[in-house]
Chain A
Amino acid sequence: MSSADQLELSPSRLESASEQLGNDALEARFTADLMSVAGGPLGDPEIGIGVRAALIGLGRAYGDGFRTVANELDALAAQVTSTARLAVLVDNNVAGYFTPSDAI
């Protein structure tokens, strides 16, 4: 990363974006949990074919998918935070470019 790149960072805004991403992860995880019980209300029919198994399959697939989304969003949030902090640390060692930040 060049020093010019570092100057474009806004650590406080990055912290905010990271928090936002964390919330997105929570939302995705909630959706995943919701989908995981998609087949719940259904029982086996007394006669004939039921769709419970298909609903459970759907729910498991969506649940897994949104959990993956949640994990990636969490990782991205952590990456944004750590990069912001790293950038400030590096900035501390670059004469003339350091700007104190209340976010760190």
Chain B
Amino acid sequence: MTLAGAAARFDYPGDDPAALVAAADQLDLAAARVDRLTQSIQLSRQALREAWTTQAAELADADIGVLATGLPVVRSGLDAAQAAVLTHRGTLTRIRADVDELRIRSLRAEHAIAAADAKFDELADRTDPMSGLLRQSAEDAGQAATASHQSVAEEYQQLVHQANTSAQSCADALASAWDPAGRSRSSNLADPGGVLLSRGGMSVSSLSMLRIQREVEEAIALATQIDGLQQPTATDPALQQRVARLAAIWDKDSDNGVFATRFFSTLGADGTVDLLARVGTLIQPTGPAGTGALTDELIRGLQTDLGAGLAMSTTGIEYGPSGLLQDSMPGGLSVDWLTALMARGRSQITVPWNDVPIQVSGYVPLMATLAQGQGFSAGVLRALGDDMRDMEVQYAANGNGAGDTVWSSTAPVRVRWDWSTDGTRFPMGNDPFTSWTAAMMGSPGASTTVLATDPALLNHLLNGRSWLLRDSGEDFGATQWLYRVADENEPLEGLAAFGNALPAMVGQGALSEDSATAFNNVVRALGDNSWNARIDAGDFQESDWIPPELRPGVGTMLVLNADTLNSVFAEPNSVGSEAFSRVLADVAKDQGTDANGHTVIDRLMSAQYSVIAAQSVDGAISTADLEAQARIAATLAHGHGAANIGLQQTSDAAHNASVATVAGVVQLGLDHSPTPVTWTTQAYQLFGGDLVQGLTSQFTQDTALPARNETSDWTSSLADEVMQTSRNQWYAFVFDELPPPDMPGVQLVDPTGRPYAWSELDRTSALWAVREWPPDREKPRQISSQMWTAFDGQVAAMKAYRIPYADGT
């Protein structure tokens, strides 16, 4: 029906009010049934309480209690829906009356138009003087009737609009009555009834305790029937079906903590680790995986759900004030269960691998699974970390080896314990501490607390443990090689992963006490020679005080905490300036660049500028902050220089071995050094000259000297840069205290009103500014001098960390 057609007939817009009354009555009837159900449930609850007072009954009673309190909320939803329908009905009834009136007015207008037309026709043949007046009168009457008819049509349109608006309000109210959050509009909503129940306070988990119980029973039966020793494991249809069904149950309940807790508590700690191990070995890491129901995706999904379940069910386990683990909240798995889990983690368990029984430490499959979980408690993460550290320390103390030797399975090739990694990285799951790092990364806040409260564990990971995974003997190709199987220069990927996780785990010290403590702990562990034995084992220039794998991550952590760094270099904290200097200098050896092409020196100096800028805005800047900035720059320069000299020595060795020309050696040196960018570029440009030409002309067998010269130039340019920047920063801070210029030619701000930097002022303006400078503030020239002193002093102090050059300097 078109609107024009409806308007011509003045149809009633919207629903039939009588039908709306019937619908409202139906809602009223339903509301009455809900009232009866509410009363009836109260009686059942009472009956159950009197008949059954055990723990199980309390559980059932809790379900009914949820229903009893939720039903009145549902009932109010029905009331709201009924009220909306009746309001809409009232509006439509009034509109219908208005439409009736419009119909009468329309008929009247139509009659008047017809009468005017007839009169006009009747006068058509008359020529007398009166006929003209009569014709005009008939024409006026016809026009008035036509206008009236048009007005009626417009009013009808308005009534249709009103009816539509009322209908929309009613529809919105009806939708809100069962879906207040509008979730039904989401494609994720599969169960509108679930929305209703949720609104009524009846959570699915609460109402489904019995369903959960049934599913736990089935899942346990399946889990215990996944007998890994039956052969062939991966192609047995019955086994495949059991695993697929178990995965389906876990997929359904992946976010259900009640299910997870019941599953793991029923299965037991030993059974849990055994299950994780069997799941991990069901299909080979390479080869004909994906036969039948068992696929990579299925195993990955099951492992992910199991990890998530373990995180949920252990969330209440934390360390108490006494330093012991305790159950901090009711429900969930207990400390005793976790203790048993760790005991099983330490033990060697037997699982099938390629249909042959192998042995593996329980911690390997356990941690590979936990790596898939998120939101672990600090207590659980720390307890697991401490327990694994103790095991490694005991192994080493007893002369049983370290690293992979502690955890290795007896499998002829690596098992792909961690199914979240792709084929090129799967051996990572063989190192439980690398898996532990992943679990830490998935637990923001908790991981920070662990690093803040457990410096001994942190020290073990940074300095003590071997992150070495050794090949098991046979070469099955690059995807199964482990770390440092070829030579000692291969990176330790697990250690690198731990280093890269440090920024996220430590966070920003300014934001939380734990972060500040964790940051100090990392710096102490790496920069204090009583913790880090590498410091006394070799010269700074020739050895790695911080493992190269850690430097990028530690660098980012330092950037994140640039404000703390500035404070410490202004006034040393409890860790001491020496540890901070060592860490900062050694991190500066890293000449790699990040995704934006910035070296760690670029990023740290940029962060320093931001810190000073923020202090300037807050009015909190002091010359001590600028001096700290100069010391930081000098420290970074020291590390950069040491790395440069080291690179030259590498080039030298390469030259002696295989390169015939001096220019070739230099080029090789450059090849080893990433293209300098930003800060580094500025510094190179400032000292000028062609590097290749310069080094070639000075090349001797001892390339440390030319490298030293280059480093010296670079360091000087950095000092110049810091002095100039500090002057600009100090001027920007003091600018507000200067009076308005009172002499011609003085220009302190640019056309947009932004203060010029000190280095941008012309001579006249600079002289005027110096003359008007606040008497209690250091003048720009003094700042330069102070910064140079701070920089130079730090450079001199850092010389203690290197051996003298060939010329004795």
- A residues near B (Cβ < 8 Å) are 1, 5-6, 8-10, 13-14, 16-17, 20-21, 23-24, 27-28, 30-31, 34-35, 37-43, 45-55, 57-58, 60-69, 72-73, 75-76, 79-80, 83-84
In the complex, chain B residues whose CB is within 8 Å of the CB of A47: 1, 3, 6, 11-14, 160
Query: Given A34-B30, A47-B11, A47-B13, do A69 and B51 touch, yes or no (CB 8 Å)?
Result: no
Contacts of B179 in A (CB 8 A): 61
Do B44 and A61 touch across chains, with their CB atoms under 8 A apart? no
On whether the beta carbons of B167 and A51 are closer than 8 Å, the reply is yes
A68–B207 touching, CB < 8 Å: yes
- B766 at interface by CB-CB < 8 Å: no
Pairs across A and B, CB under 8 Å, 25 listed = A1-B54, A14-B52, A21-B48, A24-B41, A35-B30, A46-B13, A47-B3, A49-B14, A49-B168, A50-B14, A50-B167, A51-B20, A51-B171, A57-B175, A60-B192, A64-B192, A64-B196, A65-B192, A65-B193, A66-B193, A68-B207, A72-B211, A76-B210, A79-B210, A80-B48
9 closest A-B pairs (Cβ-Cβ)?
Answer: A64-B193, A13-B51, A48-B13, A65-B196, A54-B171, A41-B22, A65-B193, A61-B192, A61-B178
Question: Hey, which chain A residues are within 8 Å of B324, CB to CB?
Answer: none
A62–B33 CA distance with the chains assembled, in angstroms: 13
**B77 / chain A contacts, CB cutoff of 8 Å:** 62
Complex contact B63–A45 (CB within 8 A): no
Give the chain B neighbours of A9 by CB distance below 8 A: 51-52, 54
Report whether A49 and B48 are in contact in the complex, using a CB–CB cutoff of 8 Å. Answer: no
- B1-13 vs A: 1/0 string, CB under 8 Å? 1010010000111
Cα–Cα, bound, A20→B421 (Å): 54
The answer to whether A45 touches B40, judged by C-beta atoms less than 8 angstroms apart, is no
Which of B14, B43, B85 is the one whose CB lies under 8 Å from A48? B14
Is B60 part of the binding interface, using a Cβ–Cβ cutoff of 8 Å? yes
Asked whether, in the complex, the Cβ of B167 is within 8 Å of the Cβ of A48, the reply is yes
* A72 proximity list for chain B (CB < 8 A): 63, 207-208, 210-211
Whether A58 pairs with B202 at a CB distance below 8 angstroms is no
Residues of A within 8 A of B174 (CB): 51, 54-55, 57-58
**Which B residue sits closest to A22, measured CB to CB?**
B44
Q: How many residues of B contact A (CB 8 A)?
A: 70
The answer to whether the Cβ of B610 comes within 8 Å of any Cβ in the partner chain is no
In the complex, A28 Cα to B75 Cα: how many Å?
13
Q: Are A42 and B20 in contact (CB under 8 A)?
A: yes
From A8, A60, A64, B52 is in contact (CB under 8 Å) with A8
Which residues in B have their C-beta under 8 angstroms from that of A43? 15-16, 19
Q: In the complex, which residues 137-185 of chain B have their Cβ closer than 8 Å to any Cβ of chain A?
A: 160, 163-164, 167-168, 170-171, 174-175, 177-179, 184
Q: Across the interface, which residues of A come within 8 angstroms of B15, CB to CB? A: 42-43, 45, 50-52
Establish whether residues A20 and B196, one from each chain, have CB atoms under 8 Å apart when the complex forms: no
Known: A41-B19, A46-B12. A55 touches B85 (CB 8 A): yes
Q: Are A42 and B192 in contact (CB under 8 A)?
A: no
- Least Cβ distance of B339 to chain A in Å? 24
A61 touches B195 (CB 8 A): yes
Q: A65-B196, A68-B197 are in contact. Are A57 and B178 (CB under 8 A)?
A: yes
| List of A residues within 8 angstroms of B30 by Cβ | 31, 34-35, 38, 62
Instruction: Please name 15 further chain A to chain B contacts, defined as beta carbons within 8 Å, in addition to the given A50-B14, A68-B197, sorted by A numbering.
Output: A13-B47, A20-B44, A24-B40, A45-B12, A48-B164, A49-B14, A49-B163, A51-B171, A52-B15, A54-B171, A61-B192, A62-B74, A62-B193, A65-B200, A69-B197
Cβ-defined contact, A10 with B14, below 8 A: no
Q: Is the CB of A42 within 8 A of B16?
A: yes
Q: With A38-B30, A41-B23 in contact, is A24–B171 under 8 Å at CB?
A: no
Report yes or no: B67 in contact with A13, Cβ–Cβ below 8 A. Answer: no
Q: How far is the CA of A16 from the CA of B44 in the complex (A)?
A: 9
Distance in angstroms from A17 CB to nearest chain B CB is: 4
Q: Is B582 an interface residue (CB 8 A)?
A: no
> A27 and B47: CB pair below 8 A?
no
Asked whether any CB of chain A lies closer than 8 Å to the CB of B37, the reply is yes
B249 within 8 A of A: no
Specify the main secondary structure of chain B where it touches its partner: helix
**Chain B residues with CB under 8 A of A17:** 44, 47-48, 50-52
Q: Let me know if B53 is at the binding interface, CB within 8 A.
A: yes
Expressed in whole angstroms, the minimum distance between the Cβ of A26 and any Cβ of chain B is 10
- Report the Cα distance A64→B13, complex, angstroms: 32
- By beta carbon, the residue of chain A nearest B41 is A24
Bound Cα distance from A24 to B43, whole angstroms: 10
B88, B200, B210 — most chain A CB neighbours (10 Å): B210
Question: Does B27 sit within 8 A of A, measured CB to CB?
Answer: yes
Task: Tell me, rounded to whole Å, the shortest Cβ–Cβ distance linking B663 to chain A.
Answer: 80
Contacting residues, chain B, for A31 (C-beta < 8 A): 30, 33-34, 37
Given A48-B14, A72-B210, decide whether A58 and B44 contact each other with a Cβ distance below 8 A: no
Q: Does B381 contact A (CB under 8 A)?
A: no
A76 to chain B, nearest CB (A): 6
Q: Tell me if B36 is interfacial: C-beta within 8 Å of chain A.
A: yes
Name which of B20, B174, B197 has the most chain A CB atoms within 10 A of its CB. B174
**Whole-angstrom distance between the alpha carbons of A101 and B195 in the complex?**
43
Interface centre among A42, A65, A67 (most CB of B within 10 A): A65
CB distance from A62 to the nearest CB of B (A): 6
Chain B residues near A80 (CB, 8 Å)? 48, 52, 60
Residues of A within 8 A of B210 (CB): 72, 75-76, 79
Please name all residues of chain B whose beta carbon is closer than 8 Å to the beta carbon of A61 when the two chains form the complex: 178-179, 184, 192-193, 195-196
CA–CA, A39 and B24, complex, Å? 10
Contact of A62 among B36, B171, B178, B208 (CB under 8 A): B178
B595 in the interface, Cβ–Cβ < 8 Å?
A: no
A45, B44: Cβ atoms under 8 Å? Answer: no
Q: Which of B37, B44, B55 contacts A5 (CB 8 A)?
A: B55
Tell me how far the C-beta of A47 lies from the nearest C-beta in chain B, rounded to whole angstroms: 4
Q: A46 to B92, alpha carbons, bound, how many Å?
A: 13
- Determine the distance from Cα of A60 to Cα of B189 in the docked complex, in whole angstroms: 14
Q: Which of B3, B27, B85, B184 contacts A51 (CB 8 A)?
A: B85
Given contacts A51-B88, A68-B193, contact A34 B26 (CB under 8 A): yes
Q: Closest A residue to B10 by CB, please name it.
A: A47
Taken together as a complex, chains A and B put the C-alpha atoms of A76 and B759 apart, in Å, by 81
Q: Which residues from B are CB-within-8-Å of A73?
A: 67
Across the interface, do B56 and A83 meet the contact criterion of CB distance under 8 Å? yes
Bound state CA distance, A58 and B23, in angstroms? 12
Specify which chain B residues have a CB less than 8 angstroms from the CB of A83 in the assembled complex. 52, 56
B787 at the interface (CB under 8 A from A): no
Taking CB as reference atom, which chain A residue is nearest B26? A38
Q: Is the CB of A10 within 8 A of B51?
A: yes
A69 touches B67 (CB 8 A): yes
Cα A84 to Cα B13 with chains together (Å)? 61
User: How many Å lie between the Cα of A17 and that of B211 in the bound state?
Assistant: 20
Interface centre among B12, B14, B22, B184 (most CB of A within 10 A): B14
Complex CA gap A45/B23 in Å reads: 15
Q: Is the CB of A58 within 8 A of B178?
A: yes
Question: Distance (Å) between the CB of A78 and the closest chain B CB?
Answer: 8
Residues of B close to A34: CB separation below 8 A: 26, 29-30, 33
A58 to chain B, nearest CB (A): 5
Chain B residues whose C-beta falls within 8 Å of the C-beta of A58 in the assembled complex? 81, 174-175, 177-178
Give the docked Cα–Cα distance between A60 and B208 (Å). Answer: 21
Are the CB atoms of B1 and A46 closer together than 8 Å? yes
CB under 8 Å from chain A, chain B span 44-80: 44, 47-48, 50-56, 60, 63-64, 67, 74, 77-78
B530 to chain A, nearest CB (A): 55
Q: Closest residue to B170 on the A side, CB-wise?
A: A51
Confirm or deny: B191 has a beta carbon within 8 angstroms of a beta carbon on chain A. Answer: yes
Contact A23 B50, CB 8 Å, known A30-B33, A64-B193: no
CA distance A14 to B55 in the complex (A): 15
